[in-house]
Amino acid sequence: MPLPAWGPLRKDVSDTIAVRADGLFKVFGRNTESAVNKLKKGTPRDKLGSGTTAAVIDVSFEVNKGEIFVVMGLSGSGKSTLIRMLNGLHEATAGSVHIGGDQITDISDKKLREIRRKRVSMVFQHFALLPHRTVLDNVAYGLEIQGMPREEREAKAREVTQVVGLAGWEGKLPSELSGGMQQRVGLARALAADTDVLLMDEAFSALDPLIRREMQEQLLELQATLGKTIIFITHDLNEAMFLGDRIAVMRDGRIVQIGSPEQILTDPANEYVEQFVQDVDRTRVLTAESVMRKPRAVAYPSSGPHGALKIMRDEQLSAVYVVNRSRSLLGWITDRDALDAVRKGVTSLDGLVREDHGAVAKDTAVADILIPAIESALPLGVVDEKNRLVGVVPRVTLLATLGGDADAAAQASPRPDPLPAEVVTQALEAAVETGSIDAKEVK
Ligand SMILES: Nc1ncnc2c1ncn2[C@@H]1O[C@H](COP(=O)(O)OP(=O)(O)O)[C@@H](O)[C@H]1O
Ligand SMILES: [Mg+2]
């Protein structure tokens, strides 16, 4: 998805964009410039001649401040080369990189070093720790290079060592630590520099799966509290899906798709991406929001038992959610309770609204709503951050999403059938006759 050619950065853009790549190329070997020209004219990558490798081809993207942007691709697809151009470890053969408002391609080495020190830090796959230095000294190393006085850098190092969960290990040597802990040191070292942008190249790929998931979770937590912009490289799709706000899929040096995990999954740009995503655990990527439907009906406190009952009769439901005027979820009410109340001449919903609605937040993973959805007495409610009912997940929908058998879900724990419409209508008419409700309210 090539971006339009940009003019000079506008202020409002650099305010929200942390990193921008524009038409980036990296060619290794001979005749690099002419290789770029050939590539631009459409020469395939494997027809550039021997001794010339096009590692990154015409890559453009923007990373928003505070975003986790994942670059995913098979080994050799150009990920490391790309990330190394973002902090100037590799010089781009063509194209430009902006960090915030500053172009880092075509600047002096001195300025580049400063940007690397203050704006962009990097975590590597193999930790790159200094074996004879303690954890604390490793974490403080970058600050030491910068010439920060000992006391100050050690205070900072202690702080971030704690942040990554290594308090108490400050005096140990790297060899005394497990792989996961060593990578925490690597992460702490990058955090110590206090840069806005964090580049992570396969940072968790060497860890075993359980430790790896733990690190991923911790990274998300850190990101939520520290608000860093993170560019995370991985060849692992599940990791990409778990971490990424957006994912760029790379193949043979090019970005073939950029999108949210869900977009990549549900709308792959081509067969390559489609094959890539075949094995991913959908229930971990899709959220309640992505599978929810509009509720067929809701009741309001002002509906009263008769109003709620009428809605349920009309929609053939045995229960409905009750929301207030701003759609905040108050609870749910059954047709049996409403019928009972109408027969008793009760006109208010007070005391009839059940609060054990079990609704889930809209960003809950589908994997985590299976049980609540089966247990829920009505289609599982989905609420936003303000507790507003934004949708429901009927069991059938859920099962369809998972490619399962809808009948099995219906049998999971049978819900009561709605009351027969005639029974409800009779009760409403009786209530009109006794004068507890007005005739036009049951029409
Ligand atoms: N310094 C280099 N010199 C020559 N070729 C390189 C160099 N670095 C990487 N390459 C080549 O560029 C391509 C992309 O490599 P890389 O960026 O390391 O991919 P990835 O990180 O996705 O595995 C590969 O074909 C690789 O062999
Ligand atoms: Mg690599």
Contact predicate 211/180, CB 8 Å: yes
Distance 363 CA to ligand 2 centre (A): 31
pLDDT confidence of residue 78: 97
Q: What is the secondary structure of 252-292 as a DSSP string?
A: TTEEEEEE-HHHHHHS-SSHHHHHHHTTS-HHHHSBHHHH-
Sheet with strand 319-323: strands edge to edge:
298-299, 319-323, 329-334
CA atoms within 13 A on the CB side of 136: 16
> How many Cβ atoms are within 10 Å of 350's Cβ, its own excluded?
10
Whether the predicted pLDDT of 84 surpasses 60? yes
For residue range 18-33, what is the model confidence (pLDDT) as tens digits? Answer: 999 999 999 999 889 9
Within 6 A (CB) of ligand 1 lie: 28, 53, 55, 73, 75-81
167-176, 370-379, 381-390: range with lowest mean pLDDT: 370-379
Q: Contacts from 210-215 at CB under 8 Å and sequence distance 24+? A: 211/178, 211/179, 211/180, 212/180, 212/239, 214/180, 215/180, 215/183, 215/184, 215/187
For residue range 314-329, what is the model confidence (pLDDT) as tens digits? Answer: 999 999 999 999 999 9
Whether the predicted pLDDT of 330 surpasses 50? yes
Distance 50 CA to ligand 2 centre (A): 22
Helix (H/G/I), strand (E/B), else coil: 325: coil
Average of pLDDT values for 121-145? 89
pLDDT confidence of residue 101: 84
C-alpha pair distances (Å), 396 with each of 280, 295, 423: 22, 14, 28
Distance 69 CA to ligand 2 centre (A): 16
pLDDT confidence of residue 5: 36
Which of 30, 32, 46, 53 to probe ligand 1 with, by most ligand atoms within 8 A of CB? 53
Whether the predicted pLDDT of 14 surpasses 60? no
In angstroms, the CA 179 to CA 215 distance is 11
Please, which pLDDT band fits residue 3 given cuts at 50, 70 and 90? very low
Distance 250 CA to ligand 2 centre (A): 12
Whether the predicted pLDDT of 399 surpasses 90? no
Residues with Cβ–ion distance below 5 A, ligand 2: 80
Domain positions in the chain are 289-442
Class of domain 289-442: alpha beta
Whether the predicted pLDDT of 1 surpasses 70? no
For residue range 247-302, what is the model confidence (pLDDT) as tens digits? Answer: 999 999 999 999 999 899 888 999 999 888 887 778 888 888 888 888 889 999 99
Whether the predicted pLDDT of 386 surpasses 90? yes
- What number does the ligand 1 atom closest to the CA of 201 have? 21
pLDDT confidence of residue 23: 96
- What number does the ligand 1 atom closest to the CA of 233 have? 21
Contact predicate 206/124, CB 8 Å: no
Average of pLDDT values for 147-172? 93
Ligand nearest to the CA of 71: 1
Nearest protein Cα to ligand 1, atom 16 = 78
Return all residues near 361 (Cβ < 8 A) that are at least 6 apart. Answer: 288, 382, 383, 384, 385
Ligand nearest to the CA of 81: 1
pLDDT confidence of residue 404: 55
Q: Between β-strands 229-234 and 68-73, what pairing exists: parallel, antiparallel or unpaired?
A: parallel
pLDDT confidence of residue 53: 95
